[in-house]
């Protein structure tokens, strides 16, 4: 059994409840039925991997949790965000078929902690099965930012750009992921399935038609 530190942001007014009951399962943000999320709490590997803006919100407090790695799966949060806007029709028409495909990809993509590679997902959320016991939680009084979240997002963009270059059969190019995505759309190789956002960027998620893969890019205002 290996125990590691994970991180979670909570509202200050919820600390008394958490000190009694721990971090409960279920999402207060993406509220719809996803099997792997229904019995999980959501944490981060590092404080600055948070993309919800809680790290800059004075109403929120950073918590450190001691977690058995056997209870952990790493999942691509961007896919569940893209599924949610298709599910509720936020900013675009409802599309239950695309939502179901995104959820299936989200479930299939999850990996144990030791299999996660830097940049595999743009936003790697940690699912902790069964929630977190109160005795395993402590408040972090002086959080430190180490740039790991931004570094992971840059690595994701680089890795998927390489994947797109192979998909498009381009030999040499200085094109970035957004430019490659535009080229793929123009060739009919990819299609946008969601416009969504987090605290770091406006986002668009695309599907590669040949493989059924999904990927997310950051857009300018």
Mean pLDDT across the chain: 93
**Dihedral angle at the C-alpha atoms of 106, 213, 204, 41, nearest 10 degrees?**
10
Residue 73 forms part of a structural domain: yes
pTM: 0.93
Does 34 fall in a domain?
A: yes
Own/partner pairs for 182-191, CB < 8 Å, 24+ apart? 184/208
151-177 burial, b at 16+ Cβ within 10 Å, e below that, comes to: ebbeebbebbbebbbebeeeeeeebeb
Q: What is the pLDDT of residues 122-174, one digit of tens each?
A: 999 999 999 999 999 999 987 777 789 999 999 999 999 999 999 899 887 88
User: 211 pairs with which residues across the strands?
Assistant: none
Residue 59 placed within a domain: yes
Assess if residue 17 is contained within a domain: no
Which residue segment(s) compose the domain that 159 sits in?
Answer: 3-12+23-140+147-219
Q: Are 152 and 109 in contact (CB under 8 A)?
A: no
State the total domains in the chain.
Answer: 1
Reported as a pLDDT band with limits 50, 70 and 90, residue 71 is: very high
Asked whether the predicted pLDDT for residue 119 surpasses 90, the reply is: yes
Q: How confident is the model at residue 31 (pLDDT cuts 50, 70, 90)?
A: confident
User: Is there a domain that residue 191 lies in?
Assistant: yes
Q: Is residue 100 part of a domain?
A: yes
Return all residues near 98 (Cβ < 8 A) that are at least 6 apart: 83, 86, 193, 194, 207
Asked whether residue 18 is assigned to any structural domain, the reply reads no
Rounded to an integer, the average pLDDT of 82-100 is 94
Indicate whether 123 belongs to any domain. yes
In the predicted structure, residue 1 carries a pLDDT above the cut 90: no
Question: What per-residue confidence (pLDDT) applies to 221?
Answer: 63
């Amino acid at each position: 059994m290996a125990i590691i530190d994970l991180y979670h942001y909570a509202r200050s007014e919820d600390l008394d409840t958490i000190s009694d009951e721990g971090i409960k399962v279920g999402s207060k943000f993406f509220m719809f039925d996803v099997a792997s999320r229904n019995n999980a709490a959501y944490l981060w590997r590092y404080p600055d991997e948070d993309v919800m803006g809680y790290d800059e919100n004075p109403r929120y407090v950073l918590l450190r949790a001691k977690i058995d790695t056997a209870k952990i799966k790493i999942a691509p949060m961007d896919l569940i965000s893209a599924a949610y806007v298709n599910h509720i029709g936020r900013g675009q028409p409802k599309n239950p078929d695309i939502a179901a495909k995104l959820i299936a990809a989200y479930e299939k993509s999850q990996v144990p902690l030791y299999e996660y590679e830097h940049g595999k997902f743009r936003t790697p959320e940690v699912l902790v099965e069964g929630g977190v016991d109160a005795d395993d939680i402590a408040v972090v009084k002086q959080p430190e930012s180490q740039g790991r979240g931004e570094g992971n997002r840059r690595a994701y963009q680089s890795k998927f750009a390489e994947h797109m270059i192979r998909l498009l059969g381009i030999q040499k190019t200085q094109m970035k992921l957004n430019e490659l995505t535009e080229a793929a759309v123009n060739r009919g190789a990819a299609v946008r399935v969601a416009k969504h956002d987090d605290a770091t960027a406006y986002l668009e998620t695309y599907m590669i038609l040949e493989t059924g893969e999904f990927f997310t890019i950051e857009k300018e205002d």
